Amino acid sequence: MANKIFIMMIFTAMTVTACKQSGVLSDNPFLQEYNTPFGVPPFEQIKMEHYLPAFEAGIVAQNEEIEAIIHNEESPSFENTIEALEYSGAIVNKVWYVFANAVEIDGTDEMNELSQIMYQKMSQFSDAMMMNQALFQRVKSVYDQRDSLNLNTVQSRLLEETYKSFVRSGANLSAADQTRMKEINERLSQLSLKFENNVRSETNDFMLVIDNKEDLAGLSESFITSMAEEAKGKGLEGKWIVTLDSPSIWPFLQMSSRRDLREKVYTAYLKRGDRDNENDNKQIVSEQTSLRAEKAALLGYPNFAAYILDENMAKTPEAAMNLLQQIWVPALSVAKKELADIKIRMNKDGVEGEPESWDWSYYAEKVRLDKYNLDENMIRPYFQLEDVLQGVFTVANRLYGLEFKPIDSIPLCHPDAVPYEVTEANGEHLGVIYFDFFPRPTKGQGAWMTEYRTQHISAEGEYITPVVSLVLNFTKPSGSEPALLNIDEVSTLFHEFGHGLHGLLSDNRYMSLSGTSVPTDFVELPSQIMENWCMHPEVLKLYAKHYQTGALIPDELVQKIADSRKFNQGFMTTELTAASILDQYYHIRTVQDSAITDVRAFEGNVLSQLGLIRQIPPRYHSTYFKHIFGGGYSARYYSYLWSETLDADAFEAFTEKGIFDQETAASFRKNILEKGGSDEPMTLYKNFRGHEPNIEALLKRRGLL
C-alpha cells in the first residue's frame, strides 16, 4: 500500500527475541505513550538500545492483530479486514518513523551497523505479511465484493490499493516464486543501504586542502571565511578546505579562477562510487538492475519500469519516455547555444581549446554577468536564511492563512533542528514542522521532506496531526556573516516546504492515503509549484532584505533576476532529462538481457545515443545516483519533469487571477493538498485545473520553445 509499512515475520523467532529483551522493554520510549508537547517522539529519551527491542515487540503485536483478522469468524468485510489491517502495526510505525529518519540525519557508524539489521528484518517482515495467503484471501474476498459494498471514494481507494499491494508483492505467486521474491527483496534492501552508505563515505572522504592564498583567486571573502572555518573544524587551522558538500563544491566551481583546482574537485565529485575501492558502487548497480528485472518478471511485467509505472500517473515506460523526448530535443538545442556562449567567454579570458565540464559553472556565471549584470554575490546579501524562511511563511499565510510559531521547549529530532507549531488562521493546531538546515558528516546529502507522524484519524476516531521535517544542506553562517543563500538554495527551501504543506494540510482518514502518499510523478506537484513564488517580483518584495541595512531588494535587482530566470536552462534541463532517461534505460531491461558487466560503458552508450554534449554530465552518474539505487525513485526519476508539467500548467491558474488569489488557493488546497492519495491523481488535478496539463507551459517557462 502506498507508503504504508506492512510488515510481518516468523512468530516464534520474534517472540523469543522479544522475551529475551523484556528487561529493556519496560522503560522503552517507543512502548510508552508519548507524553510530549503535541505528541512528538521523545527524541532525547530514545537510545540506540531501544530501537531493535521495540521493533521486535511491535512485530509480535502486529502479528497478533493479523491473526485476529485471519481468524475472525465473521465473513470478511471492509471494516473487519481492510480497515483492521490499515489500523494495525502502531508500534512498528512508531519505531520505523524515528529510526529511518535517524539513519539519514545522523548516520553514525553505530547507526549504520544497526540499519543493516533493521532493514533486513523490515524486508523479511513485509514480505511475510504481504505473502500471507490466509490474510490475502480475506482481502481478496472483500475486493471481489467491491461493486456491492456501497463504499465511498476514499474507502474504494483504500480497498483497491490494499488489494493491489498484495498482488504486486507476490501474494499470487507459487510457493517457490514467493521464496525467490523474498530473497530478491532482502538482497535489494541490503544493496540499497550499502549504495547509500558508500556515497556518504565517498563524499566525506574527499577534501581539497589549500594552504596557499594565491589558490583562492576568484573566491568571495565570505566563502573564503567559510573554507577557513571548515579547515579549523578539522584541525587544519590556517588552511582552507573544499568538500563535496553542496554549500562547498558549487560556490567553488562557480567562483574559483583556478581551472586545475576546479577540475580536481569536480572530478572527485563525478567519480564517487566509481574508484574501484571498498566504496565502489558499480557491482551494486549491476546486481540491483538484474534483480529488479527478475522481480518484475516474477510478477508478470516485461520489465521493472513497467512494474513501477503501472502505479504512477505515466502508467507505462513509453509514456514517460515520450514526455522526456519532447523535452530533450529543445533542451539540447538550447544547451548547445549556451556552450557556444561559454566557449566565447572562455576564449575571451585567454583560455584556448574546448570548455570542459568543470568550466561550465564558472563561465556560465561570467556570461550571466555579461548579459544581465548579475552574479550570485550581488544577490546573496538579500537572502539571509531567517528572512527567506519568513518569506516562505508569509507565502503560506497569504495563500492558506497559516501561522508559524517557534516552539521553545519540545524534543528535537537533532540538536540542530528548529521546530515550529503550525496553526490555522483561527489558532487551530495543524501540526509541527522541524527544519534541519546545515550539513554535517553524518547527514545525507541533498534536501528532503520527511515525517515523524502522518496525519490520519485513528481507529478510535481521534484526529492525529502530522509531525513534518525538512532536511536541508545550506550554506552555514561564516565569520560575522549569517547564513546567506544562493538562488538554488532559496528555491530548494520553497520546494521542500511545498512537500511540507502537502503533509501538514492533509485531511484524510487513512494514514496510507494521507499527505505525500501519492504516486511519485504526482508528489512533486505541491513542491514544485511552490518554487514559482520564491523569485516572483511581488514575493521578493515581501522577504528579500539586505542582511546589513535591512533595505528591501531594489527594483533594478528584482528586474535582473526576472530577466535571467531562463538563463542556463538548457544546461539544467538537459542534465535532469539525461538522468531521467538513463534511469529508464536501466529499468526497461528484461530478465532475458545479460547482466550489465560494465556500468561505465552502459551509461556512456546511453548518453552517446542521446547525443549529450560531453561538457554536461547527467545530473547524477550511475555510481552516486542515490534516487534510483539508494532511494525510492527507481524508474521514477522522470517524475520531476512530469510533475513540473503539472505545476507549470497549474501555476497559470494563479497567474490568471493573481498569485495570492484566495479562490484559487482554496481550490488547490481542497483538491490537491488535502486529498493525498484518496483518489486518482489525474482526477484530483482536473478537479483543480478543469483540464489535463499541457507540456507547452513547461517549455515556455524554461525558455525552450
C-alpha cell at 386: 531567517
Strands 403-406 and 418-423: antiparallel
Q: What is d(CA 46, CA 41) in angstroms, rounded to the nearest whole number? A: 9
Flag whether 683 is in a domain. yes
Q: What angle do CA 680, 497, 400 make, to 5 degrees?
A: 75
Q: What angle do CA 331, 332, 333 make, to 5 degrees?
A: 90
Flag whether 349 is in a domain. no
CATH number at residue 489: 1.10.1370.40
Mind listing the pLDDT tens digit for each residue in 382-391? Answer: 999 999 999 9
Number of CB atoms found within 10 A of residue 87's CB: 16
Same domain (yes/no): 463, 509: yes
C-alpha cell at 700: 515556455
C-alpha cell at 508: 484524510
**Predicted confidence band at 15 (pLDDT cuts at 50, 70, 90)?**
very low
Same domain (yes/no): 518, 424: yes
Flag whether 434 is in a domain. yes
Strands (E), 119-225: 207-210
pLDDT mean across residues, the chain:
94
C-alpha cell at 158: 483504500
**Predicted confidence band at 479 (pLDDT cuts at 50, 70, 90)?**
confident
Structural contact between residues 293 and 589, judged by C-beta atoms closer than 8 angstroms: yes
Nearest of 61, 45, 51 to residue 21 by alpha carbon: 51
Mean pLDDT of 601-621: 97
Amino acid at 392: V
3-state secondary structure of 464: strand
Mean pLDDT of 153-161: 98
The residues near 180 (Cβ < 8 Å, ≥ 6 apart) are 294, 298
Strands (E), 126-280: 207-210, 240-243
pLDDT of residue 24: 54
Q: Give the lowest-confidence range in 3-17, 378-392, 448-462, 525-539.
A: 3-17
Domain residues for 225? 206-270
Same domain (yes/no): 148, 236: no
Same domain (yes/no): 124, 255: no
Same domain (yes/no): 540, 680: yes
Amino acid at 390: Q
Mind listing the pLDDT tens digit for each residue in 39-78? Answer: 999 999 999 999 999 999 999 999 999 999 999 999 999 9
Residue 703 burial class via C-beta count within 10 angstroms: exposed 0-12, middle 13-18, buried 19 and up? middle
Mean pLDDT of 262-277: 97
- The total number of structural domains in the chain stands at 3
Nearest of 192, 109, 104 to residue 445 by alpha carbon: 104
pLDDT of residue 631: 87
Residue 121 predicted with pLDDT over 60 = yes
The residues near 146 (Cβ < 8 Å, ≥ 6 apart) are 156, 159, 160
3-state secondary structure of 552: strand
Strands 467-471 and 429-436: parallel
Residue 279 predicted with pLDDT over 70 = yes
Mean pLDDT of 445-461: 96
Flag whether 19 is in a domain. yes
Same domain (yes/no): 541, 671: yes
Same domain (yes/no): 400, 508: yes
Residue 55 burial class via C-beta count within 10 angstroms: exposed 0-12, middle 13-18, buried 19 and up? buried
Amino acid at 658: G
Flag whether 291 is in a domain. no
Return the exposure string of 414-452: e unless at least 16 CB atoms fall within 10 Å of the residue's CB, then b: beebebbbbbeeeeeebbbbbbbbbbeebbbbebbbbbb
Residue 661 predicted with pLDDT over 60 = yes
Structural contact between residues 435 and 470, judged by C-beta atoms closer than 8 angstroms: yes
Residue in the block written with cell 474507502: 155
Same domain (yes/no): 222, 156: no
Q: What is d(CA 308, CA 633) in angstroms, rounded to the nearest whole number? A: 10
Same domain (yes/no): 151, 45: yes
C-alpha cell at 650: 497549474
Mind listing the pLDDT tens digit for each residue in 182-212? Answer: 999 999 999 999 999 999 999 999 999 999 9
DSSP H helices, 234-315, are: 246-255, 259-270, 282-298, 304-309
First to last CA, the chain: 40
Flag whether 609 is in a domain. no
Active site residue 496: yes
Selecting among 104, 496, 531, 575, the annotated active-site residue is 496
Flag whether 114 is in a domain. yes
Q: What is d(CA 447, CA 208) in angstroms, rounded to the nearest whole number? A: 24
**Integer angstrom CA distances of residue 190 from 3, 9, 185, 292, 625:** 19, 17, 9, 13, 16
Residue at which a domain ends, from 118, 150, 172: 172
Same domain (yes/no): 145, 223: no
Same domain (yes/no): 404, 451: yes
pLDDT of residue 4: 35
DSSP 160: H
Inter-axis angle of helices 90-105 and 48-70, to 10 degrees?
Answer: 150
Residue 7 predicted with pLDDT over 50 = no
Same domain (yes/no): 94, 52: yes
DSSP 477: P
Flag whether 121 is in a domain. yes
Amino acid at 339: L
Residue at which a domain ends, from 151, 172, 193: 172
Residue 263 half-sphere exposure, CB side, CA atoms within 13 Å? Answer: 5
Mean pLDDT of 116-144: 96
Q: Which residues pair with 468 in a beta bridge?
A: 433, 451
Mind listing the pLDDT tens digit for each residue in 549-608? Answer: 999 999 999 999 999 999 999 999 999 999 999 999 999 999 999 999 999 999 999 999
